[in-house]
Structure formats: structure tokens, C-alpha cells
Structure 1
């Protein structure tokens, strides 16, 4: 049953909303997590979890389970059909997780949901937020559950409700940017794939971009740019994409289509991550091309940092003014991600022979420079942005906590 008051109300139970909920549970902070959908994600969407994200998730107690379910890959390659232009090795990165962790988003969400349940939490589904209003005392959200309206008052409200965020619109925060001209096809398929299941491959061709990435169940994630994609691409559509963009020495064969979708991609960033008692994270704050697999990862790290900050403030470890650290650190991180994904997408969308030749030449030269290759791998893994994912030491000493039990103890450890 939905309460009338809470410390924190989270709108949206995707990966970012659930990660924030886990962090708040461990900090012992009363909160409510709602989502308008009746069930969690059934399709796979995001498919890679990067090293920095795994490191950030370790205090939440989910990293071990994620790595158990996933496929670990050390290799990432950019190819022009048969020719490898650039190869990156993630196996030598300075991290406990020197790999690309391939895991469909629905399984990531399943792990997060199980962790929330283990901490005694609940995801309130089929609950839609309709209005968000702030005053000097807090924020008040009108929600609809089973056709009935209810008002929930919270000290803070967090919008993890996607690109069309009600929370962002209610705060009047501008979402600067635009949409790419091309649409994208996303599909999970079973393939005879000549490259093999040992690398994530980004392939360029005159017809456009295609990404092929192995998944733990033996299937492959395929992402491709298409000028006018069908709403539900079928086997023939995916086969045509791989025939026109994949390797030519040995033909790729699509055996089975498990799931597919079409979507438009935007590159947008909010002007502010906070308006008084309302915060934004994930796709509500930043959206960009899937190139590099950065979207979900950036949102999860938003959630981990915001969870620690809100936990510290509610528990008296930090003054409320230090909530400004969230935007100070996370907006520059998102800006870097947008620039990285944007550059990769512009390269992929190059159509003129001259631009394609110069692009391929530049990547081939880059492939000869170990220092620059390592820098790029650090950027893709998120490790180069690690300083933007760490909070400074709290300016106050922790207030004595009287709660008992495992959640309270974990919360004290997280805030330490």
C-alpha cells in the first residue's frame, strides 16, 4: 500500500530507479519506488555493463550476481566489413573488472529487483505519477493507482522516468539537443557469425553502421542505423542489414529472431540536474546514441552517487547544501559521454567516399598507437571518468544511528 509521506519518492523503476532504491535501503532511508508499468522490462535493450559501473555497484551487493549471469569479453573492434581498423583490449585495464560484461537489460533489472526484495523493499508497479508540485516543505506528487488518485508528500523527489520525464517537465528544466536523422534497429538474434563470440564488433560500410555483440545465452545483439526502419524488423530485415554491412569473405546467416524494435535516437542534456527538492537522473537527464554502450551505465552511476548523497543528508552526515555535488560531478560526466557517443555516431554515419576514407585512415593510424588505444579503452570503460563518480569525504561526522538490523548496518557502511 502506498504511504502518504516518505523521505524520497523515486519515479521510474528502470535500472537507475532500482539502483537508487538499493542505495537508499542500505542507507536506511525511507523511500517509495513507483513505476507506471505492471511488469519489469521483458526485452533486453541495453546489453553491456562497463568496468566503472561494476565498481560503482559493488557497495550495492549486486556486482557478483551480475558477473555470474553475464558473458565477459575483453575485445572490442571497429571494422570496415572484412578489415579490422581498430582493436581494443579491455583485459589490461586497471580494474577488478577488466572486461565488457555482456548482459541483457532485463536480466540486469531482475538482479536489481531481487536485491530490493532481499532488503525488504517493494516496487510499486502500475502506479503512474500525474503531477509534481514543490513548496517550501517538500514535493507533492499526485499518483494514480487502480484508477484512484492519491497524493504522496516527500522531502525529495527523483525523476528516473525516461526521456519524456514528467519530473523534468514539472521542474521546467530545459532538455537541450536534438534527434539524429537516422533511426536505429535493435534486435537479439541467433547467428552463424564469422567473427565469432569473442568480441564486440562495430562495423562500418557504405550502407551504414552495424554493431554485433555476443550475449551470454549464445545469441547476439544487433544494432544498426537505418534511414527508414520498419517498426518490427523481421529475420529478412536483419539478414539484409548484415549482408550489406557485415563481413563478405564468409556470409553471416540469421538463424532465429528473438526480439526486435525500432527507435529514434536523441542527443540531449539537461541544463540542470536539480531544481530545489527535485532531482533528475538517467535518461531523464541525458540521452544519446547507443554507440559505445554508455547510456544505462551513466544512469546507474548517477543513481549510486545520488543515493549516497541523499542517504548522507537524511542521516545527518552531510549538510543539505552538499546535494549540489550531484550536478557538479555528474553533469560533466554526461557531457563527456555525449561527446564520445556523438563522435562515434558521426563516424558511423559518414557516407561520402572521401569521409569514409579519412575515417578509416585515422582509425588505422590510431590502431598503431598503444597509448591512444588505452586512452580510448579507458573512456569506453568509464574508468577515465572515475573522479566524476566519487564523492569527497563528508564535511560532518556521522550522527549516531539507533536503527538495528542488517539494513541499518549496511547503510552505515555505505555512508562511511
Structure 2
């Protein structure tokens, strides 16, 4: 969607974001919601058509809900409740999202185009915009930030000073290469074909209504229903293959898929081939430079994890940039972005690589053994629930300390326990039979009373636990909240600390300056 607003670039900004895909748009919307000055540039003149990343997982939806995007996106997509592994018509494993602890128990099947359009619309509502047809040429250090050279649509080159520059510009990131950050990893020799199709009415097998891996000695096949009556088909194909036609897609379904009824392809909407790269940037930050999404990590699309990981990169970084720029926290807080997200990216590449290797076996004897093992494993108690949590990304945690009771600093706090309050910090307190239970907000902290809570919780804007067990006195003070006068409303933004550990250790003093008896 092209913007009709003026596209003249500012000469200075706090944050320059390069790339308006899902990760860049999510970061821009988060910064706009937090009131952080930023500029978002993108080479393309509009949101690109097509499905591309077509799965939005529950954890990403939880963060998009904080941005005010999730409800509209869910309405535009198809709710996928189940995922399956099959050998032809033989069910090896079937899992469900029904039991995951989230307000969004689904794999949302929606095109990347729709995801970007909803994020773009929200960014506009928040007063932001995408400067389209603008290309980053280079940037150079300009302490404490950088000065970037940006080519405008008319061919002129503009200089933009930014305190921070964010590379959300894809696998071939100009930001990453200019910063000299290595992108180690491998490229698989295996070629994959992707086709988004419409099937002939009445020809689709019931087995195609789940997101399903078909494990066959003929090669890998993944099928999934999409919104608007479409289906996605992904398959391993021989080197040199072209984008599949309708007839070739039918052959893939017939030889590797359900083999029931022979689904007929009425129309190919989009089709392409691609090689999988498995890479993680050596570091996700370098001074004032940060990497998000495909610029930071790329991997097999198996499991529908990539775009979701980029969205969570943005969620992790947005509040940290705000905290440092607003004076809530020292510069060292930004070092935790790499510390928290790099292990997630590395683990994701390992997980999707193993899944792809498992799915692309060809030896018939090994394939039979694999299928038998998967079928046996699926009967083990809890295995499908564990897989649902892995795919949904709800198990991602930044906790580094031993568990202390029911809560660990760095773990996700379910919005079912403590509902999200936009991008505010949340102080959740146990209800008291003798005290008030009225929620409130003392910017930038929202106060909630929760019946099921055993101890006070301080929750970060991205939904992870920052601290627990606030002192009794603090809890009593918080139990009698009152809004600060206007001249004190920015008390938290003026608070500083010399502590360079993650903010979960540093926010206790700032919070106490906002909540007072």
C-alpha cells in the first residue's frame, strides 16, 4: 500500500529502520506507539503481493495484540487448530493448539501481504509512515550514532543522522554487510518448490485441512489451507526444476500426499522455487547497529517460524530502545538484545534444520523406520503438547537463573493470567479482601489486580517477567495507587541507574519512584 503522504526524509532521527517487511513494520509500529522518533525506509514502492510467510504463531499474535493489530489480522485469516504428520493416508502424528495457554490458540493462516497491510495501517494510525522507494546506500560512524546516505525516489542522495540504525532488510542486508557483521552458515543443495493454489471444488481430501507434513520416500510434501479458499503446497524437487504448474502440483499431491481422491488443481495463484539457507548473524548488534528478522537469521520455512521470529525480534528491541532513549535505563540494556535473541535464532535454525532433514529422506528403508518412530513417539504422553508449544513459540524464555517458586525472571507471562496493556510495563498484584482492586495506570506502568496471583509480578512491555516478589510495603503502596501530578508523570523516564544488567534487575528503583504512598 503506497502512502500519499509527503516522503521528504528528515535529516535527523533517533532510529533509522531499513526495510518495511513484517519485522521492520512491527518495530516501527512499536516505536510509534511508544513515542520514539524514527524513520522507516523501504526500496519497494508498495507492499508486495503474495503469501510468502503464511503462518502467524500464537506468540507473535500475543505481541501483535499489544500493537492493536491481532484482532483485525485474525479476522482476515483462517484459524488453523491442528497440525499433522502423515505417510499417505496413514496418520503418524496429530497435534492441536487447543490446549496451549494463550488467548490465540491457533496457527493463523494468512498471507504475508495481509500481515504487512495490517501493520502498515496501524503504523499510519499511530502517526508513522513508510518512506517508500528509498534505498540505503551506506552509512558511516558519526559518534554516538551514524550518518546514512539514502537514495531518494528522484535519484538524489540525502544524509540522515541516526542515533541507531536497524537492519530489517532481508537475507541480503545492506545494513549487515556495511557493518561488516559475518553471516555464517550453509546453503542446502536441496531445491524446494512452493505453489499457492485453488483446488477443484469437492476434490480436496480431508487430510488437506490440517497443516500437514507428508513423509514419503518420494520426497517431502507440506500442505496447508490458507484464507480465501487457497491451499499452500511445498515440496522438495530435483535440481533445475522450474516453478510448478497445476499439473505438476497435482502430481506431487498424488505421489506424496493423501492419495485419496486425487486433489485437482483449478488454479495456481503463485509459484516459485527456492534454496534454503541456514545462517545466523555472528552478532545481532554492533554499537549503534542492530539486525532483525531475515537480516539476522534465515532458515528452512519448516514449521512456519521465520516471520514470527522477526516479529519477536522487533518486540524485544522496541521497548529497550525506548527505555534507553527516554532515560529509563543505561545504554548497556541494549546489549541484552543480542544476549536474548541470538540463542533463540540459533536454536530455531537447529530445530528447522533437523525437521527439514527428517522430512527429506529418500531411502525407503530409512523412511519406513523414520515413520514408525514418529508414530510411536506420538503415543508418548505429552509429546504432541510439547510440539504445539514449540511451534507456537510460547516456550521461548530468556530465563538464566534457577526457578524460584512458580516464576522465573525472563519467562513469558501468559496474557490469560495477566492481560496485556499495550506496550506499558505492568505491575500485577494479588487481590486483597480488604484492599482496593481497581486497576489503573501511572505512566508508563499499568497496575492490575489478579485473583489467581500468588506474588506481585513486574512484566516487561514484550510480555516477559522482569521481577517478582515486590516487597510487602511496595505492594501496600501499590494497593493505594494514585496518579502522579503532571510534573511528576515523567519520573520514570528521568530515572537512571549504573546497573548494566538486563532491565529486570534495574527497574525496581525506577518503579518505586512512580508508585508512592
- 2:306 is matched with 295
1:151 to 141, 155, 159: 159
Q: 1:270: which partner in 2? A: 281
Contact 1:201/1:211, CA 8 A, preserved across alignment: yes
Q: Which residue in 1 is equivalent to 2:375?
A: 364
Deviations 1:137-158 (A, max 9, x none): 2111111112111111100000
Structure 1 stretches of 4+ moved >3 Å = 229-232, 386-394
Partner SS for 1:385:
coil
Among 316, 328, 334, the residue aligned to 2:339 = 328
Give the match for residue 186 of structure 2.
178
Which stretch shows the higher mean deviation, 113-122 or 127-136? 127-136
Which protein has greater RCO, CA pairs closer than 8 Å, 6+ apart?
1
- 1:181–1:227 contact (8 Å) kept in structure 2: no
Pair member with larger Rg: 2
**Residues 1:317 and 2:328 aligned together:** yes
- Give the direction of change, closer, same or farther, for the CA distance of 1:318–1:400 in structure 2 (3 Å limit): closer
Aligned length: 401
C-alpha distance in structure 1 between counterparts of 2:493 and 2:466, whole Å: 15
CA drift of 1:250 comes to: 2.2
Q: Does 1:122 align with 2:132?
A: no
Shift of 1:160: 0.2
1:160 is matched with which residue?
A: 168
Q: TM-score, normalised by structure 1?
A: 0.93
In terms of fraction of residues, the more helix-rich structure is: 1
Which of residues 31, 36, 41 in structure 1 aligns to 2:43? 36
In 2, Cα distance between equivalents of 1:212 and 1:162: 25
Give the TM-score, by structure 2 length. Answer: 0.75
Specify the alignment match of 2:16 in structure 1.
9
Tell me, which stretches of 5 or more residues in structure 2 are unaligned? Answer: 1-7, 398-410, 413-461, 468-489, 496-513
1:61 alignment partner, one of 68, 79, 87: 68
* CA apart distance, 1:303: 0.6
The answer for unaligned runs of 5 or more in structure 1 is 402-415
User: Per the alignment, do residues 229 and 397 of structure 1 end up closer, same or farther by CA in structure 2, a change over 3 Å counting?
Assistant: farther
Q: CA deviation at 1:233?
A: 2.4
Task: Report the CA distance between 1:253 and its aligned residue.
Answer: 1.1
Match of 2:79 in 1: 72
SS in 2 for 1:398: helix
> What is the CA-CA distance between 1:35 and the residue it aligns to?
0.5
Distance in 2, Cα, partners of 1:375 & 1:397: 43
Matched, 1:233 2:240: no
When structure 1 is superposed on structure 2, of 24-33 and 185-194 the one drifting more is 185-194
Q: Indicate conservation of the 8 Å contact 1:185/1:229, yes or no.
A: no
Q: Distance in 2 between matches of 1:19 and 1:297?
A: 11
Aligned counterparts of 1:362 and 1:196: Cα–Cα separation in 2: 21
Going from structure 1 to structure 2, the CA distance change for 1:66 and 1:229 (only over 3 Å counts) comes to farther
Contact 2:303–2:391 (8 Å) recurs in 1: yes
Going from structure 1 to structure 2, the CA distance change for 1:391 and 1:314 (only over 3 Å counts) comes to farther
Question: Is 1:305–1:391's contact at 8 Å kept on the other side of the alignment?
Answer: no
1:137 to 138, 144, 149: 144
CA contact (8 A) 2:208 2:223 kept: no
